[in-house]
Structure 1
């Protein structure tokens, strides 16, 4: 009799503890994305294993009165290649959505970064457009040059409008794109975009500005678009002009295409970074590849890319969304051959 009573009490306690969880719609999701790469910096070469923006995340949402919904997300990078990771290092936020639109607060991608992700044929792979669009110099860090673009704002507050005739507006602000408290908001930043998407067509324009240090206030305008000529054939392109960045103003532009043949998708893209204030400081990146879909959630792929650097340029082909990247040697071409697998869960 005593045992039955204890079992009843335990069941009641467990049931009570489960109520808050059951009240919310909770989802666990993630991606395991790894590749085997042969990378060459123009002087030496080596074979590497890379975990490429692999992640695990948790989402929850709760319906409220007046057609409102509260939601949250915690997402972190997972290094499948080296057995490590950082908690909440990726898009992590809490928000509220309703007829007025969506409001979020936390750390997450800026509207400028989102535009690149929509048109990049090799996002998180060898040949990612970020190899050219990120603005940095040898030995420089975000702390002393300002935003390098294609990043996540820390301490961000964002508003996304409802969709009006397939058009949306995003406004993303951070009073301090750094860690810890501030009394001067020296790293205040803004990112804004307007986008249209319908019937296989996407077009967007974004502007981002970052109050940096050392007298630099980097800013960029980015235009991206894609168009599905058929259900199998997509064309995409992007243009970015960046000002007040290390080394001087620089434009990056290019095009890409993909074509589906059943479970196989062929893809390619070419992008150019023109010269800044330094002569012979431009580069051209070309990448070609093919995907093979093993199932709904599993894709394998092969990709080959080369970034041809001018005499005073040192752009990579293996950076951007990848946890293993080979540094470039100024004036040398960087190349890579990648065999990868992505498992979404």
Structure 2
């Protein structure tokens, strides 16, 4: 009898972790590339890069038929050196907890703003050489980021439409009330987007404002992105963004002009076989600073070995005006060689030059 009771107790104990973990999944992405990068002046080298690789845990729990709790914990992983980019922090990427139901969803934590997510329909080369952020996220202010201390509401699906609205307390866990520079109340951010997905069309319209004391100064921006599937094999994409950088009280007019710009672009994806596609985008950044415009074009081919694994090759070029030095490789990658000032001898800071990158990559989603 005692042996039977012990066996029942052990079985019950072993079953508890299984029940607790039943709705939790482990996921991730290993994304590496070999890149040849040339800034058009003194730098031309081959690099190995880990491109927004990640490891995450997510799950949900049904409280009742009309209410569900959900969570996600995600960490960036560097597959080229074995280190993470977050130091002692484990949750460096989208990490949140929330509730969802017929009312929509509410979540709190650290995650991409609605404005940042809204670029999705256009970004055919996300986390690769040629990522659109190399021209769209060049303001001196804080925009298009993964904000700390954020609360977000997402409406339920409304015939293909939904709205996301997020507010970030950014610098602290609550609004600060002291007058010191490190504890100013004016350090929040607001972001909202209207999104549509239905039939051949995917589109987003977004607005974001970041207040003065978020380390870099006040900025606001409007963004629109769309993808339209003209045929079963061809998708057309478009993008527009206008960004205004105000800065702080002592920000100079030259600094404001450098962070104020319009950027727009067009592109397309053409399926040449069942699992193979040719892709191309063209973008231009029209800056308020004189002779500081830049144009980027990217061409690439991607082949999906199966649902989880893909390989690709891209070639991207940024053509800079004489007072600016952008490159097609500085976003979402570990291989981001750069210098400290605009000088022809600095890596990736060769103003007025054409910076180019050739990349071959492997992405494994698990």
TM-score by length of 1: 0.91
Q: In 2, Cα distance between the equivalents of 1:334 and 1:179?
A: 39
Which stretch of structure 1 is more off in the superposition, 206-215 or 71-80?
206-215
How far off is 1:279 after superposition? 1.1
Per-residue CA shift, 1:308-341, capped at 9, x if unaligned? 1100011121022222223322222211000001
How far off is 1:34 after superposition? 0.5
Tell me what 2:360 maps to: 339
SS of structure 1 residue aligned to 2:117: helix
Tell me what 1:140 maps to: none
Tell me what 2:276 maps to: 264
Per-residue CA shift, 1:265-314, capped at 9, x if unaligned? 100001000122x2111100011000011112110000000101100011
Cα pair distance change 1:202/1:48, threshold 3 Å: same
Match of 1:311 among 301, 309, 322: 322
Cα pair distance change 1:179/1:54, threshold 3 Å: farther
Q: In 1, Cα distance between the equivalents of 2:322 and 2:256?
A: 15
Per-residue CA shift, 1:83-105, capped at 9, x if unaligned? 11132111000011111111110
Which stretch of structure 1 is more off in the superposition, 247-256 or 50-59?
247-256
Cα pair distance change 1:324/1:180, threshold 3 Å: farther
Tell me what 2:179 maps to: none
How far off is 1:66 after superposition? 4.5
Cα pair distance change 1:179/1:309, threshold 3 Å: farther
Aligned residues: 332
Tell me what 1:54 maps to: 53
Tell me what 1:191 maps to: 191
For structure 2, which runs of at least 5 residues remain unmatched after alignment?
Answer: 177-183, 247-254, 339-347
Q: CA RMSD in A?
A: 2.0
Q: In 2, Cα distance between the equivalents of 1:268 and 1:224?
A: 16
Tell me what 1:68 maps to: 67
SS of structure 2 residue aligned to 1:274: strand
Q: How does 1:284-323 map to 2 (within 5 A)?
A: 284-323=295-334
For structure 1, which runs of at least 5 residues remain unmatched after alignment?
Answer: 138-145
Cα pair distance change 1:335/1:179, threshold 3 Å: farther
Q: In 2, Cα distance between the equivalents of 1:215 and 1:301?
A: 36
Per-residue CA shift, 1:25-54, capped at 9, x if unaligned? 111111111000000111221110001011
TM-score by length of 2: 0.86
**Structure 2 contact 134–330 (Cα < 8 Å) conserved:** yes
How far off is 1:259 after superposition? 0.4
Tell me what 1:80 maps to: 79
Q: In 1, Cα distance between the equivalents of 2:314 and 2:59?
A: 36
Cα pair distance change 1:151/1:215, threshold 3 Å: closer
SS of structure 2 residue aligned to 1:35: strand
Per-residue CA shift, 1:176-213, capped at 9, x if unaligned? x2356651433111001112221010222100000023
Q: In 2, Cα distance between the equivalents of 1:185 and 1:292?
A: 49
Match of 1:103 among 101, 106, 112: 106
**Structure 1 contact 316–326 (Cα < 8 Å) conserved:** no
Cα pair distance change 1:27/1:191, threshold 3 Å: same
How far off is 1:18 after superposition? 3.8
Per-residue CA shift, 1:127-173, capped at 9, x if unaligned? 11100111345xxxxxxxx41x2211110000111111211111011
SS of structure 1 residue aligned to 2:291: coil
Tell me what 2:229 maps to: 228
Cα pair distance change 1:285/1:64, threshold 3 Å: same
